[in-house]
Structure 1
Amino acid sequence: MSSVDGRRVKLRASGRNGLDAVDVSADQRELTVLLFGETPEDLCKENFRILGGRRVKDVQITAMSSLGTEEPDLEDRIRLTVDRPGDFSTYTLVAVDAATGKPHPCFDPRYARIDFSFKQNCPTGLDCKPEPPGPPVERPTPTIDYLAKDYASFRQLMLDRLSLTVPQWTDRQFPDIGVTLVELLAYLGDQLSYRQDAVATEAYLDTARERISVRRHVRLMDYPMHDGCAARTSVHVSVKGTVELRRGDYRFIALHPDVLYGRHALREGDLVANKVPQHSYEVYRPLVDGDLVLREAHNRIPLWTWGGQDCFLPRGSTSATLKDDWADEKCERRLLSLEPGDLLLFEEVLGPNTGKEADADPARRQLVRLTSVEPSVDPLYCDQPLLEIAWAAEDALTFPLCLSSRGPDCCPVEDVSVARGNVVLVEHGRPTTWCDGKDEEICVPERPTETVCPERDGFGCDDQPMGVAAYPPIGTPFRVALKRSPVTQRAAFGDYEKIAEQQADILLRIPEQVRERVRELWAAVRDGRHLTKEEIAELTLVFGPKPLRRIHRNPLSTMVRLLSDFDELLHAKLRRVRLLARRARCGVVLDDGVVAEIEQSWNSADARSCKQIFGELAYQLHPDRSLFLGPAVTALRPDPRTALPDVVLTDGCHTWTPKRDLLGSSPYDKHFVGEVDDEGKLWLRFGDGVHGACPEPGSSLVAHYWIGNGSAGDVGREAITRVVCRDTDAGGITKVRNPLPARGGTDPEPLWQVRDRAPVEPRLRLLRAITPEDYAALAGQVPGVQRAAASLRWTGSWYEAQVGLDPVGAVEPSETLVDAVRDHLRRYRRIGHDLLVGPAKLIPLDIELEICVHADHVASHVQEAVVRAMRAFFHPDELTFGTPVRASALIAVAAAVPGVRGAWLTKFQRQFEPPGHELENGLMPMGDLEVPQLDNDLVRPENGVLKVRVGGGR
């Protein structure tokens, strides 16, 4: 039957015809014949004959009609009409050639005839179920040891079985063919058993042993397992004159000072020519790959003390003053060329007590990123040029920095600490092209298309002709391992969300800057000064020509109108600015196109020479601006969970970039995943055409990647000593050093730690806001929010999440902070919840306190001390949402003041509200979004009043 069934499959695919089935009508006068294919055009009733019969013979066909098919994918049918019904015997329908009587040429010889019965639809009282076959032959069940799992047990099991089934075979020598076959099967069984055990072991997180298997398991649990991270540090380069290093042409190495002594700037050829082994040094590249301009004036920058002695910058300082100088005799150009975003190193170079370099504390060094640079002068010292600098609060000094002191014999010691420019952030790793190396070429193998047959028959699928139904091949994602290891894992540098947030802050400052500039010009016109052509062009650019038609005849009224109708005149522009700021608040970085649009809206070529309202707006908003890279402290602390392999693949037309996974990649995205195995090799896994693209079979990829990872890059301070250039000669470099030790180098995460943390850590991250506590916790993550509280209120149709904010160092949050929190919560809020963000509801209090003072204390002094203590108790940073005010706590604060003998509350209630039972109960409750307030300010009595009556004392 297998060969017959196989012939039917081939017959359907070849296009030949045949008789498939016969159906008899109820009156037994019509036969419906099902064919294998389409009905031949020359087919007629003379091509069919009915043979057989016992009582009724010679049944004739009187008519034939073609029925076709109802579905295009089904075979044709024909209907034959006979002159009389047949008997109960079996008849045979034959398709023949009318002229010769042989089988019809369009029909397959095997299927040119078919048996049928005229009585197939007749009722019968017999059961049509076939008789069951006879009982199977019982054979003794062999005794099998299912615990056999290795080569030795498999071999012994088969030998024991053969001893029972073939007792005449007794030879157990190794050259025997039977023993050879048994050992071969035992070996294959051992390999198969190991593979089954390995698959079952890697299927679960608790038992998986392969690093790649564990990585994929925990990815499904939203746990970012890391494969290590490259170390980072800062390098200071001292130069003579001005030295420019081109992008991608320079690297730094930690080479022993005795090797190539006296040479601070090298060429790659120098390392090769002197046969310096690559394993004897570590390579560091700039974290921001760009042109680097080094200036001699930035080697050592004194800090200005304003004539003071024993000066120091206290711990937590975020600003300082640098001593500048003039670069020309006309005093027009400054010597220092620092800008916001530049890195500056504070370093103690002399011992404060001795004034010697050897006594300087190497721990008193800190790197900061400048956020503000303002030139100034000191008129007391002959207009000494100065530079006022500031840096972010995250980079605040972690130690007091001594600027000047007194040494032995009370001699003054100046410049105890200095600032240094020419600082570069570097990261551990060497390229594959280092020292005449070459990039690795990856060849994608040809993957022939395999035909998967729906049915296997005796002919085999290889013999199937064209047109056989086949399933599409199952594609396996292409994987390949890089030859060199360990591949550098580079952590994310420059958080996109923070960049977008800073762009939003710059955009939101536009209205105030415009208003301030217009107010400045209005004040000038009011004082009688005429506007220049450049200033009129500046106003025309911002407001358009229509509001400035009368600027020459009546300039004062025009300026007054610009101020009074400011929002109306700039409605369209400000609406666009707010829209872009809101987009940036959602984490979208404004690209070059948006930056160019904003610049064209507020700047023009005609107004370049005048004072710009926003200066170089394109420079301020450009996402590649160094100021957007964040504080230096965050750059020197890389997060290994954000690290990705530093590999770039090119195929001549496209560039392939690494991703943590391909779940969010489309079939057209050129992405791949880098997975580190237990041997430290990096495997590249590509997409399957659904999640991520797959390289074309037979193509080739060029892999450019970096080598060096983990704690090997955590070198100590002063270990990086040389700069290496590829093409240029970096003459003028006098010294290269890393003042701070490299840190952040992390080895791959151990598997035991992953198994412990993966099931627990995802539950600790809040990704959705469902309850009021969720809203409060997420709002508290926004910088500038000290505390937050939330509540869900039913509006009659749905719930509204009301969030109150308690800002840091302020009573009420700014509008910018409220917008930032609102935009942040929109990404987490539950569908169906409205969102209302605002300041905390401050509840002013009215409190009267009587105190009794000891006889030996001055009553007025004690009264003042009690007021100060109460103000400290009600400080905005000390109270939070829903905190009730207890009378016992107020009495305890007053009683703790020295000189207080006793304290009583005579009034304890909310201001501007009728008194309740707070004084009797000793408790003033607060709502979820309420914060008690007691400023006791005579200028603003509506913010709470405190009266302290004093008795006793002197």
Structure 2
Amino acid sequence: MTEPPICPCEGFTHPQVIFNPPGRGTIAYRLGDYASFRRVLLLPLQDATANLTESELTNWHPGAEADLAVQMVEWWAYLADILTFYNERVANESYLRTAALPESVQRLIRILGYRPRPGIGASGMVAALVNNSKPFTLPQGFQIQSKPGPGKQPQIFELDVDTLVQVPDAIAAEPVANPALLQGNSVLLQGTVTTVKAQDELLLLRKDWAGSTSGYALLTIQTVDLEKDPRGKVNTRVTFGSAPSWLASQQAEEYRLLKSNQSAHVWQYPSKSKVVLKKWIHLESIARQIKVNDPALLQIPGQIQLMQVIRYTEVIWYANPDAPGLDPSVAPTSVPKQPPIPIPHTLLKYQPKLADEISKEFDNRRKEVLVRYDWQDVGLLIATPMQTLSSATPRIQVAQAIAFPSGQSQLPILLEDTNGDGIFAEISAGSDSTTVQLDSPAPSATLQAPLQMLFNLLTVSRGQTAPAEILGSGDASLAGQEFVLKKSPLTYLLSDDSTSGGNYKSTLRVWVDDIEWQEVPSFYEQPANARIFVTREDENQQSYVQFGDGVNGTRLPSGVNNVVARYRYGSGNEAPDAGSLNVIVKPYPNLKAIRNPASVGGGADPEPPEQIRRYAPQSVLTFGRAVSGDDYETIAAQTPGVSRAKVYWTWDAAQQRSLVKIYVGDDNSAVNAAKIALAGTADPNRPVAVQLAQPLPVQLTLTAQIESTRIPETVMATVKDALLHSDTGLFGTNVVQIGQAIYQSQIYATCMQLPGVLAVHSLQFFLNPGTGFTLDSNYRHDPGEGRFYQISETNLYLNWEVG
């Protein structure tokens, strides 16, 4: 039924035309709603020629109030509204793409034989510190609890295997110092040095200098400052006004820093003889502090020459030689009344030999020549201690030698910095007993010195052991008996054993009549006498244990309370921060403390419905092996700890062959997990590279025009949720895919479909590739290969105005 509208916006059509184009996330399946059903019920029926068929209603008009007929019509309209609403919901819940309820998704994918991944417990390494040198063994199941942050709950982790704990438990370490002589225009002296000040001239001299024309520089002090190294020791930083560029490649251990304590002039009395020669120089007086092999600096304004003394002699010249020869080596005789004035002085022989033009210049300017000697060390030049450890400086200085086990070239450690942060790594012996090499992995984050190496490593995983639990009684007359665990969620851990599902296994162990039965992924092709069981979870993550039916897996034998289980419970993506997993639940003899510098990881929440919709149908096509690109992506994405995956077919120029490159998110644990999953399913003849996807920070600004009858704060809260909700938002953590382009029209559509939003304008999309946010004025925003967009609440700027 269609009525011509008085206003174009008041069109009325009943029943509504149902149209569902492909690719939509919802199905339209309603013929009408309460308003349209009420309206059509109040109109008389017409036949095909528009003649009224309900004459009784022709002359009837609803009353102003308390009209029972109108009330009955509204009852029927209300009933029709409810029925069509649930019809539409049933239709949507009947298809995987449109199902909104988790239980509907679970029911639909059960047809495919697909098991949604349960929650996975995190795992990692902590270190034990001891009270004395006596070794002891920590037992499997030893419990450690986290210190929860605000609004979080403590988590229990347990030791995976019995572990021997011994000394040394920790060794002080620091990054190998920067060996460069200069840091800018400055050098570093050990300790506190008080013998130098600004404007002093100091000599930088190679320790192996032996009279060459290079290997030294005369520098003028600009500032003298004290600075502390990472362990608080005070050293002296001497900064020069300028320094020759060639010093930048020199090392501190090769040089001395010297200060001249004495100086002398060359022969100043009348003389036509040279006083500065290529290999000799006559001083003005005796300078017995000069020793053979000492450096002596010849200096005139604008020029210096450093010489090494190779012979020291004392000679007598005369201050009043005869004219015109003025030979000071000969006593004067031409003036009898003037006695000779003998001047004993030092004659030095040096190397290297001065060039003719240089010796001539010094001799011609003898009144300006200054000879500086008695050079003394002002302090010990040291390499600059590194304040941080990064991938660029993987060598570490240790306080004591590390003993590597026999036949073992590498040693696993936890490396902790002064802030309590750290990494798990492996070390190998360095060039000497006091250095080690950080082999893998290189620190992705900067660690602040001083450092501490921790050796007593404990492999722990999330999950608290429940007391032995009687599941129930076996009944041989029943096929496929099933029991539910009292504690939830059951802890599953990442494992290539895959006894529960793809690359994970449960911590559940079951005994029947004191005989342990084994868990398998499914009953498919299991022998009839196999003592096996399988596990599954419902939509509330309650775990069920099911036994065989006598055809695939044996039935449970009859008995009373003869089915007993032990298991751990607790899982999820949320993991304790680094440094917070250190509370010993029950004290243990000789155990001093637990250190947790590297955060645990690998945990995962139960597989979200959006991911199930995407990969469950594809999993049917993989058959447990990877051939196509979709196969690689599906297997990687289903791996515990992997929140997103994207495959690219690329060309490996080095090997001249195709390469499958898979990006996964969102941490290194995901990369390791994906590698394990693909190792057993990928084509061994095709190279595969698994890399960590990189988030691309986004800043989004927009202004929404809101209906005047709405509460602005409420409307903007729904806009924020539509954009950022982890499971349904346009930029949700579980929604955004690697390499997924975002169109501005999508952002507009997401906001415009919300109740109360009339219009959206002033939309700006900013990208931050690492150098700050810049405006992306395109209508299509492509993150590029191996990257995905990420918006935090602090980078979402929502403005509103009343329409």
The TM-score range, normalised by the shorter chain, is: 0.3 to 0.5
Kindly indicate which of the two structures has a greater share of residues assigned to strand: 2
**TM-score, with length taken from structure 1:** 0.32
Q: Report the structure, 1 or 2, having the larger helix content.
A: 1
The TM-score, its normalising length taken from structure 2, stands at 0.37
